[in-house]
């Protein structure tokens, strides 16, 4: 079940909110927990045991760490947490990858295991790890009730594809939260924006990308140079609109029931450097690696050699986190190279107007590496973007796709910028002084959510392509 499915919108979410808003306050957490477990079990009931088991291990180790006064015991319990959670993540996510590579090099094992990746395991594993580490650092108190920690790890708003929510962000709200009419309105507004971003914009960009650069397709093998550029550009728009839409909907649904999740995106395509891009993209993941890997290793307050080592570890892990394939490792190394170049070579040498262009070009080619797991296809696309080995410069099919979707692409580009937010702030500012602006603002605020919801539902009806890209990570 995905947020942009009709069964989720008209059955699951409606039923959840109806029961939640009208039930007595002392049962609200139980309602959320039941619905969250149902939501997760929808994609694979047997993996609900894995989620519950990892949560139990984290609950147990956190309590033992908090109760232990001996430093050595605390470290052993922390080590136990890491072994259990990272061991399970390694088995489900990377066992096949390592088996395939060992088989290619040494001929063993003879049979590659068939292991299905549980949905959301990367996200809830990192959340539970951050919780136990924070207890170990004495930054938070351990949650004494197992079912409340399970609520934290399984909240259906964010357990499958983020954002990665730190326990300290919601610790107080698990027991003490109030929902106002403003919360409900802002939550619905944020959810409707995310739903429209996904169902109307991201899905449309996906159709363009799949028509031109679908891995393993005949269209990719016979694509023209401009076809590759247009396909990658559409994918670049798709992956941002798709993933940020999920975060928008998660934040919106959390707000409806009193949870205030932190932002996960801040218009990354307006970045003026690769470093700036990663301050804006998937903020919760970047923050996790900063706080739990980079800074403990020494951060930037160390020698140049150690700084490079720290960065290399972080970006290798960032690549591996996204998938068990060599292209994700290359993707991490690619960004590592740019970040080191920006720190030691480029610095402030790029003129102001060109900074944004430089960043977009770096990001563009980064998404090429990210998309193609097949190394042969990756190499073909990379050289094909420079006119080598393609079927020509441009084909009639590419021209037709481009002209047919020109206004859609323009609107998607605008959606990747803060233009809408800027216009809204202008209306708010002038609304305090001008009755006309105040009226326009109120009318807009009133009609935008229902209009977006209606358009989104119409877009979803009969649409066969509707997954979230980041479910695979």
DSSP string across 174-207: HHS----HHHHHHHHHHHHHHHHIIIIIIHHHHH
Q: Does 335 lie in the same domain as 235?
A: yes
Q: Does 187 lie in the same domain as 171?
A: no
Which of 147, 177, 207 is at the close of a domain? 177
Q: Does 344 lie in the same domain as 413?
A: yes
pLDDT of residue 443: 87
Q: Does 265 lie in the same domain as 136?
A: no
Q: Does 352 lie in the same domain as 205?
A: yes
Q: Is the pLDDT of residue 438 over 90?
A: no
**Residue 248 maps to a domain:** yes
pLDDT of residue 9: 93
Q: Does 338 lie in the same domain as 359?
A: yes
Q: Is the pLDDT of residue 266 over 70?
A: yes
Name, in order, each residue with C-beta under 8 angstroms of 254's C-beta and a sequence gap of 6 or more. Answer: 155, 157, 158, 187, 260, 261
| 319 or 4, greater pLDDT | 319
**Residue 465 maps to a domain:** no
Q: Is the pLDDT of residue 246 over 90?
A: yes
Q: Cα(126)–Cα(272) distance, rounded to whole angstroms?
A: 29
Residue 347: pLDDT band with limits 50, 70, 90? confident
List the catalytic residue out of 103, 282, 322, 356. 322
Residue 340: pLDDT band with limits 50, 70, 90? very high
**Residue 48 maps to a domain:** yes
Q: Does 190 lie in the same domain as 114?
A: no
pLDDT of residue 168: 94
User: What single string gives the DSSP state of each residue in 300-364?
Assistant: TSS-HHHHHHHHHHHHHHHHHHH-SSHHHHHHHHHHHHHHHHIIIIITT-S-HHHHHHHHHHHHH
**Would the pTM of this model clear 0.85, i.e. be above it?**
yes
Q: Does 170 lie in the same domain as 255?
A: no
Q: Does 172 lie in the same domain as 118?
A: yes
**Residue 236 maps to a domain:** yes
Mean pLDDT for 455-469 is: 78
**Residue 469 maps to a domain:** no
pLDDT of residue 467: 64
Which of 162, 177, 192 is at the close of a domain? 177
Domains identified in the chain, total number: 2
**Taking a C-beta distance cutoff of 8 angstroms, is the pair 147, 33 a contact?**
yes
Q: Does 215 lie in the same domain as 197?
A: yes
Q: What percent of the chain has pLDDT over 70?
A: 98
Mean pLDDT for 165-171 is: 94
**Taking a C-beta distance cutoff of 8 angstroms, is the pair 285, 265 a contact?**
no
Q: Cα(379)–Cα(106) distance, rounded to whole angstroms?
A: 25
Q: Cα(333)–Cα(63) distance, rounded to whole angstroms?
A: 38
Which of 122, 149, 177 is at the close of a domain? 177
**Residue 225 maps to a domain:** yes
pLDDT of residue 473: 59
pLDDT of residue 428: 83
Q: Is the pLDDT of residue 445 over 70?
A: yes
Q: Does 427 lie in the same domain as 389?
A: yes
Q: Is the pLDDT of residue 204 over 70?
A: yes
Q: Is 322 a catalytic residue?
A: yes
Q: What is the dihedral angle through the alpha carbons of 273, 274, 277, 278, rounded to the nearest 10 degrees?
A: -140
Residue 465: pLDDT band with limits 50, 70, 90? low
Q: Is the pLDDT of residue 462 over 80?
A: no
Q: Does 127 lie in the same domain as 245?
A: no
pLDDT of residue 466: 63
pLDDT of residue 444: 85
pLDDT of residue 472: 60
- Tens of pLDDT along 108-162? 888 888 888 888 899 999 999 999 999 999 999 999 999 999 999 999 999 888 7
Q: Is the pLDDT of residue 384 over 70?
A: yes
**Taking a C-beta distance cutoff of 8 angstroms, is the pair 331, 382 a contact?**
no
Q: Is the pLDDT of residue 45 over 70?
A: yes
**Residue 112 maps to a domain:** yes
pLDDT of residue 125: 95
**Taking a C-beta distance cutoff of 8 angstroms, is the pair 155, 33 a contact?**
no
Residue 470: pLDDT band with limits 50, 70, 90? low
- Look over the chain and give the mean of its residue pLDDT values, rounded to a whole number: 92
pLDDT of residue 339: 97
Lowest mean pLDDT among 39-53, 251-265, 389-403, 430-444: 430-444
The DSSP symbol for 43 reads T
How far the first Cα of the chain sits from its last, in Å, is 16
State which residues form the domain around 89: 6-177
User: What single string gives the DSSP state of each residue in 234-272?
Assistant: HHHHHHHHHHHHHHHHHHHHHHHTT--PPP--S-GGG-S
Q: How far is CA 400 from CA 70, 99, 209, 222, in A?
A: 70, 44, 14, 16
């Amino acid at each position: 079940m995905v947020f942009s499915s009709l069964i989720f919108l008209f059955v699951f979410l409606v039923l959840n909110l109806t029961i939640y808003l009208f039930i007595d306050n002392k049962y609200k957490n139980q309602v959320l927990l039941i619905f969250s477990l149902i939501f997760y079990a929808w994609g694979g009931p047997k993996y609900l045991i894995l989620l519950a088991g990892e949560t139990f291990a984290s609950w147990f180790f956190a309590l033992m760490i908090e109760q232990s006064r001996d430093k050595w015991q605390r470290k052993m319990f922390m080590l136990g947490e890491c072994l259990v959670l990272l061991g399970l993540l390694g088995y489900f996510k990377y066992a096949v990858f390592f088996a395939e590579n060992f088989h290619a090099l040494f001929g063993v094992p003879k049979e590659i295991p068939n292991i299905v990746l549980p949905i959301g395991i990367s996200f809830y594993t990192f959340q539970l790890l951050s919780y136990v580490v924070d207890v170990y650092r004495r930054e938070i108190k351990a949650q004494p009730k197992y079912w409340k920690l399970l609520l934290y790890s399984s909240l259906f708003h964010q357990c499958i594809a983020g954002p990665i929510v730190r326990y300290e962000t919601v610790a107080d709200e698990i027991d003490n939260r109030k929902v106002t009419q403003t919360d409900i309105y802002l939550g619905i507004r944020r959810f409707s924006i995310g739903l429209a971003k996904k169902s109307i914009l991201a899905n449309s960009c996906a159709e363009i990308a799949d028509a031109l650069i679908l891995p393993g397709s005949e269209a990719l093998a016979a694509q023209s140079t401009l076809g590759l550029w247009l396909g990658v550009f559409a994918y670049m728009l798709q992956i941002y609109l798709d993933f940020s839409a999920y975060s928008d909907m998660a934040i919106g649904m959390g707000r409806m029931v009193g949870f205030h999740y932190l932002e996960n995106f801040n218009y990354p395509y307006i970045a003026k450097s690769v470093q700036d891009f990663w301050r804006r993209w998937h903020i919760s993941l970047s923050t996790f690696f900063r706080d739990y890997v980079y800074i403990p290793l020494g951060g930037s307050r160390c020698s140049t050699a150690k700084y490079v080592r720290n960065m290399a570890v972080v970006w290798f892990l960032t690549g591996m986190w996204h998938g068990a394939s060599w292209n994700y490792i290359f993707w991490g190394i690619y960004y590592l190279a740019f970040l080191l170049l920006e720190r030691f070579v480029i610095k402030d040498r790029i003129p102001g107007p060109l900074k944004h262009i430089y960043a977009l070009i770096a990001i563009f080619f980064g998404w090429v590496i990210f998309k193609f797991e097949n190394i042969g296809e990756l190499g073909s696309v990379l050289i094909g973007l420079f006119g080598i080995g393609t079927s020509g410069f441009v084909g009639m099919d590419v021209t037709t796709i481009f002209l047919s979707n020109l206004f859609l692409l323009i609107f998607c580009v605008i959606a990747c910028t803060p233009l809408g937010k800027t216009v809204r702030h202008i209306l708010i500012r002038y609304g305090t002084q001008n009755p006309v602006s105040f009226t326009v603002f109120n009318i807009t605020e009133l009609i935008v959510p229902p209009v977006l919801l209606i358009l989104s539902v119409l877009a979803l009806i009969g649409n066969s392509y509707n997954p979230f890209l980041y479910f695979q990570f």
